[in-house]
Amino acid sequence: MGLFNDKVIIITGASEGIGRALALKLAAHKCRLVISGRNMQRLQSLSSELTDLGCEAIVHVADIANQTECTGLVEVCVEHYGRLDILINNAGMTMWSRFDELEDLSVLSQIMQVNYLGPAYLTHAAIPYLKQTQGQIVAVASLTGMTGVPTRSGYAASKHAVIGFFDSLRIELSDDNVAVTVICPDFVVTQTHKRALNAQGKPLGETPMQESKIMTAEECAQMMLPVIAKRQRLLVTSLRGRVGRWFKIIAPGLIDKIARRAIDSGR
């Protein structure tokens, strides 16, 4: 993990879940962090933990759905540290409703704004600095970005967009030696599920997942570290996800059934 030594890293969505867990894992590797999200109290609490672990970290509150705030986040990083080595696009939101039961269609635009346009805005602001350091972009997508999933249509669309966008960007930036890594987690225990928007566009308030049966954020973050360190192009965190990529070609109906079963069982 020596590749993280002295690296300057931005992590969005760092106040909880995968982003928080990843920041704590990286703290052991002598990197310098910018942790960002929308909840100042949680970010400050994380910053204190990182400081106790001997990791330098600055806090910056930003809403990645806002292009100006994305630019400001990158500027704060470069002004403080002088450079940027790794951008981790982790922040996101989700939904939980059949499309034909969706009453508030603004859910679709909200999710696309946060999950796809936000990372695009932030990455655009970061690219000039990443070219200077021959750095890396990490996009936390989802297994849902590789296949259709019932009740998650808008979320699946946004994550399909994320994967297509960053796969294209990888090719564009190859001559600049800027690596692009896409992470596709299966279900992970995070607060995001409790805030998933329902048919009325309101947060669910409780998770529909069997949290004891799915991966923790800490386990997911641990899987991410070596993939990021080696600048690999893709991580799919579950066996069913890795196998499913091939079965989707030869037995797509089976994958549809697996996706339905996963949602129905919450695991």
Q: Give tens-digit pLDDT for 150-194.
A: 999 999 999 999 999 999 999 999 999 999 999 999 989 877 777
Are the C-beta atoms of 87 and 126 separated by less than 8 Å? yes
Could you tell me where the DSSP H helices lie in the chain?
17-26, 40-52, 67-81, 106-112, 118-133, 153-172, 217-229, 239-250, 252-265
Count of beta carbons in the 10 Å neighbourhood of residue 198:
18
**What is residue 202's predicted lDDT score, i.e. its pLDDT?**
92
**What is residue 39's predicted lDDT score, i.e. its pLDDT?**
95
Query: Considering only 12-21, 61-70, 128-137, 203-212, which range has the smallest mean pLDDT?
Result: 203-212
Beta bridge partners of 60: 36
For residue 219 the two structure tokens come to 């386990």
Q: Give tens-digit pLDDT for 26-48.
A: 999 989 999 999 999 999 999 99
Are the C-beta atoms of 95 and 147 separated by less than 8 Å? no
Beta bridge partners of 87: 10, 137
C-alpha distance across the termini of the chain, in Å: 31
Query: Considering only 1-5, 79-83, 143-147, 257-261, which range has the smallest mean pLDDT?
Result: 1-5
For residue 182 the two structure tokens come to 């896409």
Percent of the chain surpassing pLDDT 90 = 79
In the chain, at which residue ranges do the beta strands (DSSP E only) sit? Answer: 8-11, 32-37, 56-61, 86-89, 136-140, 179-184, 188-189, 215-216, 234-236
User: Is the per-residue pLDDT at 122 higher than 50?
Assistant: yes
User: Is the per-residue pLDDT at 211 higher than 70?
Assistant: yes
Query: Considering only 145-154, 160-169, 243-252, which range has the smallest mean pLDDT?
Result: 243-252
**What is residue 33's predicted lDDT score, i.e. its pLDDT?**
98
Count of beta carbons in the 10 Å neighbourhood of residue 114:
19
The domain segmentation of the chain, as residue ranges, is 2-238
Rounded (10°) CA dihedral 112, 16, 179, 154: -20
Alpha-carbon gap, residue 188 to 186, rounded angstroms: 6
Q: Which residue has the higher pLDDT, 131 or 208?
A: 131
For residue 39 the two structure tokens come to 């909840």
**What is residue 2's predicted lDDT score, i.e. its pLDDT?**
62
Query: Could you say which of 3.40.50.2000, 1.10.357.10, 3.40.50.1390, 3.40.50.720 is the CATH number of the domain covering 2-238?
Result: 3.40.50.720
Catalytic, 155? Answer yes
Q: Model's pTM, two decimal places?
A: 0.94
Are the C-beta atoms of 201 and 95 separated by less than 8 Å? no
Q: Looking at residues 198-202, what average pLDDT do you find?
A: 93
